[in-house]
């Protein structure tokens, strides 16, 4: 594999050149200092790019929104005539994704396309190129090193078709430039196609990138017994009281679910005005009492603790048993957003120490 350099002052040029071929999504600073992963709007690129923050702390909302938006129209209708509204499969460049969030994207890619291939997700994700930036600012709630998802990803031995967990490109901050590693044929094509990348990489740049990755990993202070907890969940050795204790505190707001990079559940509802309307899907949360309540009144998951059990067992047991990999990416968003201080890392630690 041949690395490249991308000098920081050339990133704007790269975006301006790439925007002709791609819908670009990237981390922009918004009101109050929050960084959001949003689409680069046409006509405002120059202004927007001033707010580009590749060294952000974390994104409140994960980049799963690009292929699985919170709210999405499935079809429109007028009387009995239906018009399908699947998005055009445009080429999308996701620039500046964290390694943990890449795991989330690849997990959803697999989930939405296995069995019934979801046409809406397929259209939005089919032509996506993901550029990872190695995380240099792990937050106190991050535990990617325990989950095995970050803060940097190993480069593939050979560049072929991308594996379903890998990146297309990975960038490591080495000061005045990023060292760019190639993870797929699509990524290779991208760096060959745009002139912003420098092929002359001095050996000290490689050394600095290597050190930066090591320092990033060392900066992740929160360590949890991830594998041990997954094993305990899979063996069914988590006692009900663990869930009941959480249920005493949890307010069932659904916040942890909405900010989770691998949560995929949705509700469907119709809107109608006179003769016309649309059917939409919108993120839903298994923490809600109404999530499983049937019209006749029966609710198989009425008890709060049973809903808590569902959420943690889904992530740490069933997804592991089904796919060979837990769907917790270690991003810590659930803890960061929780009003009552419950997070996956705490649950993992508690179960691991049983």
- Residues 70 and 226: their CA atoms lie apart, in Å, by 29
Q: Is 107 in the site for another protein (CB under 8 A)?
A: no
Q: Is 119 in the site for another protein (CB under 8 A)?
A: yes
- Residues 35 and 45: their CA atoms lie apart, in Å, by 16
Residues forming beta bridges with residue 173, ordered by sequence position: 178
Question: Which residue in the set 101, 313, 336, 344 belongs to the binding site for another protein (CB under 8 A)?
Answer: 313
Of 58 and 262, which has the nearer Cβ to another protein? 262
How many C-beta neighbours within 10 Å does residue 7 have?
Answer: 14
CA dihedral 60, 62, 63, 66 (to 10 degrees): -100
| Minimum separation from the CB atom of position 261 to another protein (A) | 16
The tokens for 43 are: 């006509």
Contact segment (CB under 8 A) with another protein among 193-201, 222-230, 299-307, 329-337 equals: 299-307
Footprint on residues 249-288 left by another protein (CB under 8 A):
264-272, 277, 279, 281, 284, 286
Footprint on residues 159-218 left by another protein (CB under 8 A):
none
Question: Which residue in the set 23, 101, 118, 168 belongs to the binding site for another protein (CB under 8 A)?
Answer: 118
Question: Which residue in the set 103, 124, 213, 314 belongs to the binding site for another protein (CB under 8 A)?
Answer: 314
- Residues 208 and 216: their CA atoms lie apart, in Å, by 12
* Residue carrying structure tokens 């490109």: 169
Half-sphere exposure of 173 (CA within 13 A, CB side): 16
3-state secondary structure of 341: coil
Footprint on residues 22-81 left by another protein (CB under 8 A):
74-75, 77, 80
Q: Name the site residues for another protein (rule: CB under 8 A).
A: 74-75, 77, 80, 82, 84, 86, 111-112, 115-116, 118-120, 264-272, 277, 279, 281, 284, 286, 291-296, 298, 300-303, 306, 309-310, 313-314, 317-319, 321-322
């Amino acid at each position: 594999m041949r690395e490249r350099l991308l000098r920081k002052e050339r990133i704007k040029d790269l975006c301006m050149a790439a925007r002709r071929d791609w819908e670009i999504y990237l981390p922009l600073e918004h009101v109050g200092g929050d960084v959001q992963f949003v689409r680069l709007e046409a006509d405002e690129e120059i202004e927007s790019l001033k707010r580009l923050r590749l060294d952000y702390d974390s994104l409140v909302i994960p980049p799963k929104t690009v292929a699985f938006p919170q709210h999405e129209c499935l079809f429109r209708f007028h009387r009995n005539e239906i018009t399908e509204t699947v998005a055009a499969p445009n080429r999308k460049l996701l620039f500046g994704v964290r390694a943990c969030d890449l795991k989330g994207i690849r997990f959803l890619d697999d989930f939405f396309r296995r069995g019934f291939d979801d046409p809406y997700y397929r259209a939005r994700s089919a032509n996506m190129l993901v550029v990872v930036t190695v995380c240099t600012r792990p937050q106190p709630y991050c535990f990617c090193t325990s989950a095995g998802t970050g803060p940097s990803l190993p480069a593939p031995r050979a560049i072929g078709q991308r594996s379903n967990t890998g990146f297309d490109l990975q960038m490591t901050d080495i000061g005045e430039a990023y060292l760019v590693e190639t993870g797929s044929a699509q990524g290779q094509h991208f760096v060959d196609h745009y002139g912003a990348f420098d092929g002359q990489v001095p050996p000290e740049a490689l050394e600095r990138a290597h050190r930066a990755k090591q320092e990033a990993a060392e900066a992740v202070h929160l360590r949890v017994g991830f594998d041990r907890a997954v094993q305990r969940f899979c063996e069914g050795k988590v006692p009900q009281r663990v869930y009941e204790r959480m249920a005493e505190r949890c307010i069932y707001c659904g916040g942890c679910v909405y900010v989770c990079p691998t949560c995929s559940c949705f509700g469907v509802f119709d809107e109608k005005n006179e003769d016309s309307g649309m059917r939409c899907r919108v993120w839903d949360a298994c923490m809600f009492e109404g999530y499983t309540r049937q019209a006749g009144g029966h609710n198989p998951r009425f008890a709060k603790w049973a809903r808590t059990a569902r959420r943690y067992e889904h992530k740490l047991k069933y997804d592991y048993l089904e796919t060979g990999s837990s769907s917790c990416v270690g991003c810590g968003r659930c803890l960061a957003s929780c009003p009552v201080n419950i997070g996956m890392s705490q649950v993992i630690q508690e179960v691991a120490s049983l």
